[in-house]
Structure 1
Amino acid sequence: MLRIKLPHLFDIHQVPKVFQEDSIISGYRHPQSSAMDCIRSSFQMTNETVNIWTHFLPTWYFLWRFCGLCSTVNFLAESYTWPLLVYMLPVCLYPFTSSCAHTFSTMSPATRHICYFFDYGALSLYSLGCAIAYCFYVMPECWVNSWLHQHFVLIAIANTVFCTSMSCYSRFLELQFPHRSKILRTGAFVLPFMFDTIPLFYRLLLCFGGSCNHPEALSSHSYHLLFAFLTCFLFSSHLPERLAPGRFDYIGHSHQLFHVCAVVGTHFQMEAVLADMSSRRAWLAAHSPSSTFLGTLGAFALAVLINLGLIGLFSASLLRESEQSPVGPATPHTLQVSPGNKEE
C-alpha cells in the first residue's frame, strides 16, 4: 500500500521566534522546509493549511467571475470599462499571492519576509484598484469634477507607495518591537482603505439623510463595509485564540477568519462596483469625464513598477542584514522530533 510521508510538525517552543504566531501553540512546519515540503504540507492539517486554502480557492472564484466579465464586457474597446479591469486584476491577484506566501513562508526566515513583502504589495495594488473603481463608478454626484475627484487616483498611488513601504518596513521591527510592528502594519492598510471609502461613506450618509440616488448598489456596499470592519478587527485583535491559546491552532483562529471575511467582503464589493457601473452609466457619461488610459491602466502599471521596486529594495536590505547577523538554521536542540510527532 502506498504510504505518503508528510512533513513533521512542531510546537511553538521548537521553532525560532520569527516563525511563532501569537497564541498559536502547535502545528508549526519545519522552519527550513523545502519548496516541495511546503507544497505537501498544504495537504496536511497544520496551523497554516486553512490560511492557504481560504485564499487559494477564492482565487479561482474571482478568476471565474473575471472570465465571465471578459465574455460580456468589451475591455479593449470601451474606455468606460477600464476601471473595472483595473479593479478585477488585483482582486484575482491578492488572494493568490497570499496563498503562496502562506505556503512557502517556512523555507527560511528571509524567504518568509520576502513572501509577505509580495503579499503586502498585492494588497496595496488591490487598494489602488478599489480607488480607481470608486473614482469612476462610486463617487457621489455632488463630488464629481471636484478637486478630490480630479486628484483621487494620484493620491491613491501615493497611498499605495505608503502602504507597501510601511508594511514591508514593519517586518524589520517584528522581533524587537512586535506591538509597534503590528500597529504600523495595521495603519499601513487602514489608511488607504479609509481614503478609498470616503466617497462611499458620504453616499451612505446622503442615503440616511433621504437623498439617495442610484441606490441599487448600496446594500452590497454596506455588506462590504461590515466585512471590512470584521477583517480589521480580527487582524488586530487575535481573537479568539488569545482567549484560549492552543484551542484554535488548526481551525478557527483569527487569521483564518480574517481571510474568510476579506474574501466575502471583496465579493460584496465586486457586486456593488458592478451594480454602480451599470446603473450610473448614463448619468456618469453625461456629467463625468471619461476614464483615460493614464488614469486607469497607466496608473496601475506605474504602481506595479513602484511596488516591485520597493519589494526589491526591502528584499535586498533584508538579505544584507541576514548576511551581517544571520538567523541560523534550526539546531537539533530546538527541533527535536519524537516518534510521536511523525505523521505518515
Structure 2
Amino acid sequence: MPAGVADQGQSPPNAASPQSPPRPPPRRAAPLLRWDEVPDDFVECFILSGYRRLQCTALECLVSVLQPTNETLNFWTHFIPLLLFASKFCRLLLLRGVGDLPFHHPFLLPLWCYASGVLLTFAMSCTAHVFSCLSLRLRAAFFYLDYASISYYGFGSTVAYYYYLLPGLSLLEPRALSRYLQQRLGWHVDCSAPIALYSALLLPVAFLLAVACTVACCKSRSEWCTYPFAIRTFVFAMPLSMACPIMLESLLFDLKGHNPTLFVYFYRRYFWLLVAAFFNVSKIPERIQPGLFDIIGHSHQLFHIFTFLSIYDQMFYVEEGLRHFLQEPPPASPTFTGTVGYMVLLVLCLVLVIKRFLNVPEFCKQD
C-alpha cells in the first residue's frame, strides 16, 4: 500500500472498521451423505441417501430434526404421538382422574404401569433416531435402550390386561367355561385348574418374555444376523400373546355382544400391528424404487405410523376395561408389589442386559 494512503488514516479495503466488526459466515447444515459414505452399521436397506455424518454434535443432532434427512420423519412420527399420549394420560391420571380417584389410588397402579410403558417407548424411539449419529457406541446404546423400552411397554400392557380386562372375561370363569364346553362342545372337563395356573403364571411369564425379547433384539444387531428386521418384528409380537384369552373369549363366548368396545378395538389394533409388521419386514416401498423414498415415505416411517394407531386403539379398550373394573372391583385389588414392583425389577434386569451387550465388542462397535 502506498505510504500516502496510510498517512491519511484510510483503512485497507479488506480491513474491518472499528464500528462494524466482520460477521462470521452463516453456518450451513452439514451435507448429507450417501450409503457408501457412512459406516455399514448406519446403512438401511434400500435407503441410498439422506444419511447424517458420524460424530455429529448433540446440537447438530437436534437441529437435524428440522432438516430433510432420512431420520427426520422417524423422529416426528413418534414425537407427535408422544405428545398426544402424554396429554391423554395427564388428563386421566392427574387433572381429573378416573372415576374421581386420586392419582395415587391403588386401583390406578396398573394404569400408571401402562402409561409409563407407552410414554417410554415413544420417548426412547425419538431419542434413538435423533442421537444415533453421535458415535457408533452411543448408536448401539440408544437402540438397545429402544428395544428395552418396547419390552417394558409390552409388560406394562400385560399388567393392565391382568387387572382391568381379564377379570371381566367369561373365559376365566371356570364354571362358565365348563358349562359352555359341556353344553356346546360335549366336553366334560373341569378347566378350573388350568385357568388358575394361567392366572398365577401370567405376570411371571410375561416378565421373563420381556427380558428374553430384549436379549434377542440386541443380538439381532450382530453381523451374523441375516434377517434382523424379521427377528425384531417377531419378538416384538411375542408379548401380544399375553392377550390370547381375549381372542379366545371372542371365539368361545359372545365378546362382541357384552363388550363391543373391547371386541372392535382389539381386532382393529391387531390389524394395525399386522400392517406395521408387513412394512417393517418387507421394506416396501423403498425396495420397489430404491432412492425415491429416502426422505419421505419409507417403510420405517410407515411402521411408526401404524404402530401408533395400534397403541391408540389399545388405549380405548384399556380405558374401557378400567371403567368396568371400577364399577365391579374384583376381590384381589392391585398391589404396589404386583404392579410398580414388577416394573422396577424389570428395569433393573433390562439395564443389566444392555450393560452386558455394551461390554461385548461384537455387539457394540467402537468408533
TM-score range, shorter chain: 0.7 to 0.9
Query: What residue in structure 2 maps to residue 115 of structure 1?
Result: 142
Query: What residue in structure 2 maps to residue 198 of structure 1?
Result: 244
Q: 1:106 to 1:321 in 2, by over 3 A?
A: closer
Pick one of 275, 279, 290 that aligns with 2:333.
290
SS at match of 1:29: coil
Query: What residue in structure 1 maps to residue 130 of structure 2?
Result: 103
Q: Which moved more, 1:65-74 or 1:161-170?
A: 65-74
Q: List per-residue Cα deviations over 1:15-60 (Å, max 9, x = no partner).
A: 1211100010110100222222211111100011000111112111
Q: 1:313 to 1:210 in 2, by over 3 A?
A: closer
Query: What residue in structure 2 maps to residue 186 of structure 1?
Result: 233
Query: What residue in structure 2 maps to residue 45 of structure 1?
Result: 68
Query: What residue in structure 2 maps to residue 317 of structure 1?
Result: 360
Deviation at 1:229, TM superposition (A): 1.2
Larger radius of gyration: 2
Q: With the length of structure 1 as denominator, give the TM-score of the two structures.
A: 0.86
**Structure 2 segments unaligned to the other structure (5+ residues):** 1-22, 174-194
- 1:55-204 equivalences in 2 (<5 Å): 55-70=78-93, 71=95, 72-73=97-98, 74=101, 76-139=103-166, 140-143=169-172, 146-172=196-222, 175-179=223-227, 181-193=228-240, 195-204=241-250
Q: 1:67 to 1:210 in 2, by over 3 A?
A: closer
Q: List per-residue Cα deviations over 1:54-102 (Å, max 9, x = no partner).
A: 1112111111111101221335553222111110111111111001000
Indicate yes or no: 2:259 matched with 1:214: yes
Quick one: distance in 1 between partners of 2:256 and 2:229?
40
Quick one: distance in 2 between partners of 1:320 and 1:231?
26
Deviation at 1:211, TM superposition (A): 7.2
**Structure 1 segments unaligned to the other structure (5+ residues):** 329-344
Deviation at 1:120, TM superposition (A): 0.4
RMSD: 2.2
Query: What residue in structure 2 maps to residue 240 of structure 1?
Result: 285
Whether the aligned pair in 1 keeps the contact of 2:171 and 2:248 (CA below 8 Å) is no
Aligned residues: 317
Whether the aligned pair in 2 keeps the contact of 1:7 and 1:41 (CA below 8 Å) is no
Deviation at 1:3, TM superposition (A): 4.2
State, as a whole percentage, how many aligned pairs show the same letter.
31
Quick one: distance in 2 between partners of 1:137 and 1:210?
15
Deviation at 1:224, TM superposition (A): 1.2
Whether the aligned pair in 2 keeps the contact of 1:110 and 1:319 (CA below 8 Å) is no
SS at match of 2:360: helix
- 1:256-271 equivalences in 2 (<5 Å): 256-271=301-316
SS at match of 2:337: coil
Deviation at 1:316, TM superposition (A): 2.0
Q: With the length of structure 2 as denominator, give the TM-score of the two structures.
A: 0.81
Quick one: distance in 1 between partners of 2:221 and 2:92?
37
Q: 1:8 to 1:229 in 2, by over 3 A?
A: same
